[in-house]
């Protein structure tokens, strides 16, 4: 099985797409080969030497996730790792939109995690997009963005709920409407209330909510408060002082005001009505979750 890199620099780096592609071999995708760490780091572009970019804490967090869920389905690690990765890797959205950072994390820091988490038992291979792919597919980008879009201000509990359903990551995460905070929180509440239970149901609801957004402006019927950029920047700046994240208790995110409760409740009721009319494949026959990788 693919092993952790035998050489880990002190700081995070960037690995451009064209460089990353060179290291994604058939042997790596099959979980049989290791990534040549020295060659990869020679191809990477170092980031500034700052406490915010130190790698050891990130690698320790990933090791902890793999240890905690060593006897469980690897999918269960998502809900634990997503909020903690977000809290320890404090990025602006502009930084998080840079695929070169995620390429480096997947290939230069934790290729063993990508194989452990995403190796398909049926295909005996990992989809290459988990190493180098869009934000809603790439192994670490999908977790960070899930935490960013589903957190409610400083509260990561909605992230845990959302990431406990694979279709919230595989389908709902890629929808534009999820950037509206009351929408994201309303979807989480439907999961918490067991209105939506399975992956198929979450998939169907997400598509219905996104389609309805074309005719109903959610930010009009359920307005959000203005985002507090200063609170996010203060939270990022704390990382420059070497702020650590405890692995056991759930961390605390940026001190932003949460989504308005009235807006979230309004959309929760609205989405529940939408869901009642949504056809779900296999809904009558089975409550089984069609969980993706």
pLDDT tens by residue, 162-221: 999 999 988 899 998 999 999 999 999 999 999 999 999 999 999 999 999 877 889 889
Sequence-separated (6 or more) residues with CB below 8 Å from residue 229: none
DSSP string, 125-189: B--GGGTS--TTTSTTHHHHHHHHHH-BTTB-HHHHHHHTSHHHHHTGGG-GGGGSHHHHHHHHH
Task: Please give the pLDDT value at position 282.
Answer: 61
In whole angstroms, give the CA distance from residue 67 to residue 244.
19
Q: How many CB atoms lie within 10 A of CB 258?
A: 17
* Higher pLDDT pick, 240 / 144: 144
Average pLDDT over residues 107-118: 98
Cβ atoms of 132 and 21 within 8 Å: the answer is: yes
**pLDDT > 90: what percent of the chain?**
81
pLDDT at 204: 93
Q: Which of helix, strand or coil describes residue 152?
A: strand
* Residues 126 and 114: beta-carbon distance below 8 Å: yes
Per DSSP, helices labelled H in 215-291 are 218-221, 229-239, 261-276
Distance between CA atoms of 140 and 114, rounded to whole angstroms? 9
Say which DSSP state 268 is in: H
Pick from 137, 34, 88: which is nearest to 250 by CA? 88
What's the pTM value of the predicted model, to 2 decimals? 0.93
- At a CB cut-off of 8 Å and minimum separation 6, what does 200 contact? 167, 280, 281, 282, 283, 289, 290
**Residue spans of beta strands (DSSP E) within 129-211:** none
Which residue has tokens 């997503």? 82
69 SS3 class: coil
Sign of CA dihedral 280, 281, 286, 289: negative
Rounded Cα gap, residues 207 and 171, in angstroms: 8
Mean pLDDT over 63-84 rounds to 96
Instruction: Determine the Cα–Cα distance for residues 103 and 149; give it in Å rounded to an integer.
Output: 21
pLDDT of residue 288: 40
Residue 99 phi/psi, 5-degree rounding, is -65, -20
pLDDT at res. 30:
98
Computed on alpha carbons and rounded to an integer, the radius of gyration of the chain in Å comes to 19
288 CB neighbour count, 10 Å cutoff: 10
Comparing CA positions, the residue from 231, 85, 66 lying closest to residue 145 is 85
The pLDDT-based confidence of 291 (bands split at 50, 70, 90) is very low
Residue 216: its pLDDT value, please?
Answer: 82
Residue 293 scores a pLDDT above 70: no
Task: Give the whole-number percent of the chain exceeding pLDDT 70.
Answer: 95
- Judge contact between 85 and 145, C-beta under 8 A: no
Q: What mean pLDDT, rounded, does the chain reach?
A: 92
Residue 290 pLDDT class (50, 70, 90 cuts): very low
pLDDT in tens, 13-53: 999 999 999 999 999 999 999 999 999 999 999 998 888 99
Query: Which 3 state secondary structure label does DSSP give 14?
Result: strand
């Amino acid at each position: 099985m693919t092993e952790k890199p035998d050489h880990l620099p002190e700081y995070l780096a960037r690995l451009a797409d064209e460089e990353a592609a060179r290291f994604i071999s058939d042997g790596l995708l099959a979980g049989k080969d290791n990534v040549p760490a020295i060659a990869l780091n020679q191809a990477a572009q170092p980031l500034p030497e700052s406490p915010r970019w130190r790698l050891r804490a990130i690698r320790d967090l990933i090791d902890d996730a793999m240890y905690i869920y060593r006897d469980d389905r690897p999918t269960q690690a998502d809900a634990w790792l997503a909020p903690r990765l977000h809290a320890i890797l404090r990025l602006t959205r502009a930084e998080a939109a840079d695929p070169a950072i995620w390429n480096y994390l997947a290939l230069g820091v934790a290729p063993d995690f990508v194989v452990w988490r995403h190796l398909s038992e049926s295909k005996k291979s990992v989809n290459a997009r988990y190493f180098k792919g869009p934000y809603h597919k790439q192994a670490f980008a999908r977790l960070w963005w899930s935490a960013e879009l589903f957190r409610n201000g400083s509260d990561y509990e909605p992230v845990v709920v959302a990431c406990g359903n694979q279709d919230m990551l595989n389908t709902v995460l890629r929808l534009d409407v999820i950037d509206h905070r009351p929408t994201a929180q309303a979807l989480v509440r439907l999961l918490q209330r067991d209105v939506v239970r399975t992956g198929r149901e979450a998939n169907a609801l997400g598509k219905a909510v996104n389609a309805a957004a074309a005719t109903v402006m959610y930010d009009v019927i359920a307005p959000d408060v203005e985002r507090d950029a200063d609170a996010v920047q203060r939270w990022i700046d704390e990382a420059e002082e070497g702020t650590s994240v405890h692995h056991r208790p759930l961390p605390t995110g940026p001190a932003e005001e949460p989504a308005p409760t009235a807006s979230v409740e309004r959309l929760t009721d609205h989405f529940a009505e939408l869901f009642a009319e949504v056809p779900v494949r296999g809904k009558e026959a089975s409550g089984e979750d069609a969980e993706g990788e």
